[in-house]
A and B are shown apart, each in its own frame.
Chain A
Amino acid sequence: MSGEEQFVVSLSVNGTRRPVTVPARRLLSDALRHDLELTGTHVGCEHGVCGACTVLLDGVPVRSCLMFAVQAEHHEVTTVEGLADADGRLHPVQEAFRDCHGLQCGFCTPGFLTTIAAALEDYPPGASISADEAREILGGNLCRCTGYQNIVKAVGRAQEIRTQRAGLSGDEATDRDST
């Protein structure tokens, strides 16, 4: 389709402005992976079922395979590459997945991490997240390896890490762990 009209789109991804030249039909997921070489965003089903391609649009999770890149202009996109701090310190949800063995093959993991990272923002540090609430958060993401149990655990663990980092007494959090 060499004759296809091209659009210059100024994407803002993980705090950096990156212009891309794409046809209108370029999915945001493909623009991230192919044009910007941010291959952390994984593409599974490519029709909005599996959740692997979930990114944050202005902080809110959306499926990047259900948006065109031309629609992302003037919005802030956060991919899994943007979750960790600039100094490399992992996001609480990333640390929690490591602690709880929340991944096996890792294909679906970027979608889980972005989805959970956004959901955590609905809970103040110190508040607990029940397993039922965790399952509701994870409902739109498919994983074919883990059986989900450790992912559910990782949601609670991520919240503990947030609580500790927020400076609410680490002892308190540890006490809660052991009870």
Chain B
Amino acid sequence: MKPPAFGYAAPRSVEEALAVLADLGHDGKVLAGGQSLIPLLSMRLTAPHTLVDINRIPGLADVTVAEDGSVIVGALVRHAELLAHAQAFEALPLLRRATSNVAHATVRNRGTTCGSVAHADPSGEMTAILAITGGSVQIAAAGRRTRDVGAREFFLGPLESCLGPGELAVSVRFGAPAPRSGSAFLELARRQGDYAMCGVAVTVTLDDSAEVTTVRAAYLSVGPVPDVHDLTAPVAGQRYSTADWRAAGELAASLVEPEGDLHASADYRRRLVSVLTERALPLAAADAVARTQVAA
């Protein structure tokens, strides 16, 4: 349970980091919070030639709420910092609702939100949040303009993203909520802080007379990548207080293809998708009403 030997670089600027990563190519691996990478090293599931520790680079630890209401989170922002960020919560409440479910406080003190996205674990909360907010990852490389990659293109499979050799995810941008929309996040784990057996992030958008116009959901631990599902059909045009959320939950269960493992069978996960969706949607609808004060 000791990591294998590796080279170590601790660049002091993004430019220096990109130069080092470009030199290393496939041999380089970025170290930020390390809360997923270091266990993988200790269990010898990965053995990079050189770790590029970005923790000493200034300017990567900012949370910025953009004018359009999206929230940009720098590569060194720890989960705990995002959780405590009042403006980010106000702009995008889903961020805090999900982040409070990321592991335990001790891990949130060190782990980074951007790293969690880059790790591309389909059981990770932030991957689902990036997907459902229509967010993107800002990817830098030496000698090239930073490219902005949407969640759908970013996540390729379990623990696999489109980050290539020499590239560094410098920030993630979580998209602003739509007008008259609300959100909710629920997950079920054996113990608070454990990996979720199933989790759901939902958004519900209402029209001016508080009738449902759009319902979307993204799940954790039920597929290889965080797909966003449209669950509008069974509840379209229904009043938010009496909408048939159960039907939306059942639709969701028919759309996902979970796999079973030690913690939960595929059937159980599918059932959880249905139940958690049914529970989360009225919360999101009520949130939409509260946030926009549409006629209730």
One of A55-63, A88-96, A102-110, A158-166 at the interface = A55-63
Report the minimum CB–CB distance from A62 to chain B (whole Å): 5
Question: Which of chain A's residues have a CB closer than 8 A to the CB of B35?
Answer: 48, 63, 66
Question: Which of chain B's residues have a CB closer than 8 A to the CB of A123?
Answer: none
Check if A5 sits within 8 Å of B7, measured CB to CB.
yes
Check if A47 sits within 8 Å of B39, measured CB to CB.
yes
Report the minimum CB–CB distance from A102 to chain B (whole Å): 18
**CB neighbors of B among A88-135 (8 A):** 115, 119
| Alpha-carbon distance A139/B105, docked complex (angstroms) | 8
Check if B55 sits within 8 Å of A71, measured CB to CB.
yes
CB-nearest residue of chain A to B35: A66
| Alpha-carbon distance A23/B109, docked complex (angstroms) | 25
Q: A62-B110, A63-B106, A140-B106 are in contact. List 20 more A-B contacts (CB 8 A).
A: A23-B5, A24-B7, A24-B8, A27-B3, A46-B42, A47-B39, A47-B42, A51-B104, A61-B106, A62-B106, A63-B110, A66-B107, A67-B110, A68-B53, A70-B53, A136-B105, A139-B191, A140-B103, A140-B104, A140-B105
Selected A-B contacts with CB under 8 Å, 18 pairs: A1-B5, A5-B8, A24-B7, A25-B6, A46-B2, A47-B1, A47-B38, A62-B109, A63-B107, A66-B39, A68-B34, A70-B8, A70-B53, A71-B34, A71-B53, A139-B192, A140-B104, A140-B105
The 5 A-B residue pairs whose C-beta atoms are closest, nearest first, are A140-B104, A24-B8, A47-B39, A46-B1, A25-B3
Q: Which residues of B contact A (CB under 8 A)?
A: 1-8, 10, 34-35, 38-39, 41-43, 51, 53, 55, 80, 103-107, 109-110, 191-193
